[in-house]
Structure 1
Amino acid sequence: MAEQEPTEIEEPARRRPGRPSLSNEELLDKALDLFLEKGFAGTSIDAICAAASMAKRTVYARYGDKESLFKAALTRAIDDWIVPIERLREQESEDLETSLMRIGEILVSNVLGPAGLRLLRLTNSESVTMPEISQENVRRGTEPTLRYLAGLFRRRLGDENGEFPEAEEAAQAFLNIVVGGPASNAAWGMQMEMESVKRHTRYCVRLFLHGVLDEAAMSARNDTGQLRRLLRDAEDRLGEARARIDEAVRLVRD
């Protein structure tokens, strides 16, 4: 029987390389750019998939629908924007005004940076139809900063027991005065030179701080005045009581 020649084994066909899969962070960045450019209603999943070079089924598998994708993109934007409280604490020094200057400069620079402006414009444009996005922004970004500032004011402006009843109001006023102006200007498309931003921050910090100190001094003066009135009233009542006792003693002796 003739020996059969060995047959050549065919190599399996190689799979063509597919499109590389973007990371979640890259997908969310692409989606966020489109949401910012065209708004939530004007942005389609098809457009996001095209921008990300990703199959629609992959996007749906990751996020389910456009609203979930939008909220995930917004959450990432908030995470990029938030200033860690530890960084604010690092700016504290023995001098409160210097501390507030440093803290104010960080917060203003943060809101005017690319991540801050992107988040500001996006929340402003969509918060009417989706108010929960502004609420999430406040809950995760603003509220921790307010709590930190209120604690700082209690430590530095409170009495010997650390009591400062207006701490929360002072924290909100600080953000409104120091950060709110530049943020409002940016939301309306107004640009400020960095030197103008620094000058604005310095002025507003001094305006806030001396206003708070004057208010505290006035409150202390009011408390002192009220205490003095109470002491005078007590002395008058004590004098009347002594006069009555003397009169009673005289009657008993007579």
Structure 2
Amino acid sequence: MDRGNARELIDRTTDKDSPTVGPRGRARRQALLDAAAALFVEKGFEKTTLTDIIGRAGGSRATLYEHFGDKEGLFRAMMEENSARIQDGLAAIQADERAAPEEGLTRFALHLVAALFDDRTMAIVRVLVSEGGRIPDIAEAFFRIGPETAQRRLADYLARQTAAGALTVAEPEAAARGFIGMITGNILLRRLILPEQSFSREEVEHYVGRAVALFLTGARPTAGH
């Protein structure tokens, strides 16, 4: 999914072209999304009812049905909008031809880590971990528009850097998977198991810097290549 598709996805899920949805309608819609995100974390997806969501957000059941259809539709919209927002940021980094590999990879990694410290992102991940078997189509959509798209963006970046002679990456797709796993794996696990644990900006930047340096040790051209 390229940047244009990510923006199209946001547009499609915000009803902005609907003549019946004005600023108040968008505000109600956002209130429902915010309430659902908080409740999914507090009570879990299955135990959260539409009555719970409406009670916290205000509005009516008719408004929720109009915007989302049902609880699964609400969660799908939340997941799609969040993924599109993250992918928009990655697309800008992917398209920057001026940045050296160290800078580009660092920006890419910091953007992914920032997503893992976002409450909305983690609410989505926790729901998918606990309920993915019940909503497999949404879980599969998450991987398509989230992790798999991020991997494709990074693989494209690595391939272009290799073509320019800045890197030597024989298998960009495998390298992208490895880099993203190295950056996100430990932090994601900690966020899931120890959600109250905090990291300072300095700790995050040090962690990312070491990972980027390790990756580039094996990816930089060597003498004679």
TM-score (norm 2): 0.73
Aligned counterparts of 1:50 and 1:81: Cα–Cα separation in 2: 29
Quick check: 1:46 aligned with 2:57? Answer: no
Q: Residues 96, 168 of structure 1: CA spacing in aligned structure 2 closer, same or farther, 3 A cutoff?
A: same
- The amino acid that maps onto 1:48 is I
Structure 2 residue runs of 5 or longer lacking an equivalent are 1-23
Aligned counterparts of 1:132 and 1:30: Cα–Cα separation in 2: 23
Q: Residues 156, 64 of structure 1: CA spacing in aligned structure 2 closer, same or farther, 3 A cutoff?
A: closer
Report matched runs for 1:215-234 at 5 Å. none
1:64 corresponds to which residue?
Answer: 69
Q: Residues 201, 145 of structure 1: CA spacing in aligned structure 2 closer, same or farther, 3 A cutoff?
A: same
1:40 CA displacement: 1.8
Structure 1 residue runs of 5 or longer lacking an equivalent are 1-19, 222-254
2:159 corresponds to which residue?
Answer: 154
2:15 corresponds to which residue?
Answer: none
Report matched runs for 1:19-30 at 5 Å. 23-30=28-35
How many equivalent pairs are there? 198
- The amino acid that maps onto 1:204 is A
1:207 corresponds to which residue?
Answer: 214
Quick check: 1:141 aligned with 2:146? Answer: yes
User: Is contact 2:113-2:184 (8 Å) kept?
Assistant: yes
- The amino acid that maps onto 1:182 is I
**Larger-Rg structure:** 1
Q: What is the root-mean-square deviation in Å for CA atoms of aligned residues?
A: 3.1
User: Is contact 2:159-2:172 (8 Å) kept?
Assistant: yes
Query: What is the aligned counterpart of 2:108 among 86, 92, 103?
Result: 103
User: Is contact 2:151-2:177 (8 Å) kept?
Assistant: yes
Amino-acid identity (%): 27
1:184 corresponds to which residue?
Answer: 189
1:118 CA displacement: 2.9
User: Is contact 2:35-2:53 (8 Å) kept?
Assistant: yes
- The amino acid that maps onto 1:101 is T
Aligned counterparts of 2:103 and 2:164: Cα–Cα separation in 1: 21
Q: Residues 99, 78 of structure 1: CA spacing in aligned structure 2 closer, same or farther, 3 A cutoff?
A: closer
1:173 CA displacement: 0.8
Aligned counterparts of 1:45 and 1:94: Cα–Cα separation in 2: 47
Work out which structure has the larger RCO, using CA pairs closer than 8 Å and 6 or more positions apart in sequence.
2
1:29 CA displacement: 1.9
Report matched runs for 1:232-247 at 5 Å. none
User: Is contact 1:104-1:201 (8 Å) kept?
Assistant: yes
Report matched runs for 1:61-140 at 5 Å. 61-89=66-94, 93=98, 95-140=100-145
1:170 corresponds to which residue?
Answer: 175
Aligned counterparts of 1:159 and 1:66: Cα–Cα separation in 2: 48
- The amino acid that maps onto 1:144 is T
1:90 CA displacement: 6.1
TM-score (norm 1): 0.65
